[in-house]
């Protein structure tokens, strides 16, 4: 959530920054609600002063010869009117504050100054590339044809079990999927300094509001039936970031920042992507991800985004998968993010790069919604943390990239060297292994 003080003081600048995201901030509505709240507060203060003055009148009336009972009766009648007015004004101030909160909860984060202008993913700017796409001397197959021919990928059975946009994996292909998770977690914990955590796969509405999925994006979530108010997680970002909700982290515990990594399934209804990527594993309702989450001091968040993105890139380099890094333009930037790098892996069958990780800096936007803070030892006062996260990586899409980039003319798939220790020494996946 944006800082309401900043919005009040620099409302035109805020509206201009939000326009970079394609969002029209209703200045008049904000100022009207804020004025209503301010007036209710001012009127309340005036009535409190009148109540204090009325209470003093009892003694003055008694001094002038009025009996104590008569003095109380006169003043109590005035106090009763004031109390009734105060009750109304208190409710009016609460209603105005609630309306302001509702308004601000629906306002996205402001992009940083170095975020390029643009309306869609077509306007994203490439920052760098790594690796050269492989040149094939045979007809390329996509991951669906490869996986089904190998007998390790079954969308028909998944559709029978559940429905569209699900997959079943068998044998070495399922093991390859698991090997990717182990490689990612081992690298992020053993090399990059993240603490592995295990979290619930079901969260409440407060958690989703804290990270920005609610109230705006409820249609993209799977909500459990009943009165529990629970949702399946769309990403580990939600439960892991909420580890700091309503907390004040001591500087001694905080150190140079807090880093967490977590593997979870993710569940998304994909309500806004109807008809897109319906073939295969690119866009599914259930998929696996290894998430990276950081909590840092405000002055460290720019550098933290670069390092976190580098940690996701390291996995792609270990797997020797060609990729490119792009900075998202304002129009393609996520609701809560103030800056995002996308890592896009090369998919030969599509002859293009596709997103495999989004790494974002949220500034204090999520922390303000969650009241996630650290105590500054220099001032002794709590200050909002800055939060960051990114996929390190999306496991299913990484599997897709391996199948397509490591495919052979006979339909087998070479296992990347770095994964072989996790695969029991298997160097390739062939149909005979899955027959």
* 120 counts as catalytic: no
Residue with tokens 């105590």: 375
Measured distance CA(321)–CA(400) in Å, rounded: 11
Q: Which one from 37, 165, 397, 412 is the annotated catalytic residue?
A: 397
Per the annotation, binding residues are 235-237, 268-270, 291, 355-358, 389, 391
Give per-residue burial for 10-35: e unless 16+ CB within 10 Å, then b.
Answer: eeeebbebbebbebebeeeebeebbe
* 420 counts as catalytic: no
* 175 counts as catalytic: no
Length of the chain: 435
Q: Which one from 37, 165, 259, 268 is the annotated catalytic residue?
A: 268
Per the annotation, binding residues for L-serine are 235-237, 268, 291, 389, 391
Enter the DSSP assignment of 71: H
Helix (H/G/I), strand (E/B), else coil: 222: coil
Measured distance CA(419)–CA(395) in Å, rounded: 13
Angstrom distances, CA of residue 345 to CA of 225, 317, 324, 351, 370: 37, 11, 7, 11, 33
The 3-class SS string of 2-48 reads: CCHHHHHHCHHHHHHHHHCCCCCCCHHHHHHHHHHHHHHHHHHHHHH
Cβ neighbours of 49 (radius 10 Å): 10
Reference 393, options 261, 259, 289; nearest CA is 289
Reference 229, options 214, 249, 250, 244; nearest CA is 214
Measured distance CA(339)–CA(337) in Å, rounded: 6
Helix (H/G/I), strand (E/B), else coil: 191: coil
Tokens representing 142 are: 């996509």
* 164 counts as catalytic: no
Q: Which one from 336, 358, 360, 412 is the annotated catalytic residue?
A: 358
Tokens representing 361 are: 């800096």
Q: Which one from 355, 375, 383, 428 is the annotated catalytic residue?
A: 355
Measured distance CA(140)–CA(403) in Å, rounded: 11
Per the annotation, binding residues for ATP are 268-270, 355-358
Reference 373, options 258, 244, 245, 248; nearest CA is 248
Angstrom distances, CA of residue 395 to CA of 110, 111, 287, 373, 403: 30, 28, 8, 32, 12
Burial class (CB in 10 A: 0-12, 13-18, 19+), 277: middle
Helix (H/G/I), strand (E/B), else coil: 76: helix
Q: Which one from 178, 283, 354, 375 is the annotated catalytic residue?
A: 283
* 92 counts as catalytic: no
Residues annotated as catalytic are: 268, 283, 355, 358, 397
């Amino acid at each position: 959530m944006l800082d309401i003080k900043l919005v009040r003081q620099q409302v035109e600048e805020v509206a201009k920054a939000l326009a970079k995201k394609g969002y029209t901030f209703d200045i008049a509505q904000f100022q009207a609600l804020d004025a209503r709240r301010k007036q209710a507060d001012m009127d309340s203060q005036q009535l409190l002063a009148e109540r204090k003055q009325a209470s003093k009148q009892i003694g003055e009336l008694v001094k002038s010869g009025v009996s104590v009972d008569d003095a109380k009766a006169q003043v109590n009648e005035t106090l009763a009117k004031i109390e009734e007015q105060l009750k109304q004004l208190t409710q009016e101030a609460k209603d105005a504050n609630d309306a302001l909160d509702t308004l601000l909860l629906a306002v996205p984060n402001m992009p940083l100054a170095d975020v390029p202008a643009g309306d869609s993913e077509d306007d994203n700017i490439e920052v760098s590339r790594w690796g050269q796409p492989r040149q094939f001397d045979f007809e390329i197959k996509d991951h669906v044809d490869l996986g089904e021919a190998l007998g390790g990928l079954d969308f028909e059975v998944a559709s029978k079990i559940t429905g569209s946009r699900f997959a079943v994996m068998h044998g070495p292909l399922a093991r390859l999927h698991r090997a990717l998770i182990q490689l990612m977690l081992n690298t992020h914990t053993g090399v990059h300094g993240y603490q592995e955590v295990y979290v619930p796969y079901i969260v409440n509405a407060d958690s989703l509001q804290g990270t920005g999925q609610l109230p705006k994006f409820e249609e993209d979530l799977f909500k459990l039936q009943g009165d529990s108010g629970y949702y399946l997680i769309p990403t580990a970002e939600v439960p892991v970031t909420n580890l700091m909700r309503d907390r004040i982290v001591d500087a001694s515990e905080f150190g140079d920042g807090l880093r967490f990594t977590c593997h979870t399934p993710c569940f998304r209804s994909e309500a806004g992507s109807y008809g897109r990527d319906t073939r295969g594993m690119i866009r599914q309702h259930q998929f696996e991800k290894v998430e990276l989450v950081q909590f840092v001091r405000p002055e460290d968040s720019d550098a933290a985004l670069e390092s976190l993105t580098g940690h996701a890139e390291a996995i792609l380099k270990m797997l020797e998968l060609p990729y490119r890094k792009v900075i998202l333009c304002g129009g393609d930037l996520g609701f809560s993010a103030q800056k995002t790098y996308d890592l896009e892996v090369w998919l030969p069958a599509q002859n293009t790069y596709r997103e495999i990780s989004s790494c974002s800096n949220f500034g204090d936007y999520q922390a303000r919604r969650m009241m996630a803070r650290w105590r500054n030892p220099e001032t002794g006062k709590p200050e909002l943390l800055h939060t960051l996260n990114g996929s390190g990586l999306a496991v299913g899409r990484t599997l897709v990239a391996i199948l397509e980039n490591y495919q052979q003319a006979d339909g087998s798939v070479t296992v990347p060297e770095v994964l072989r220790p996790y695969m029991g020494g298997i160097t390739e996946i062939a149909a005979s292994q899955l027959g």
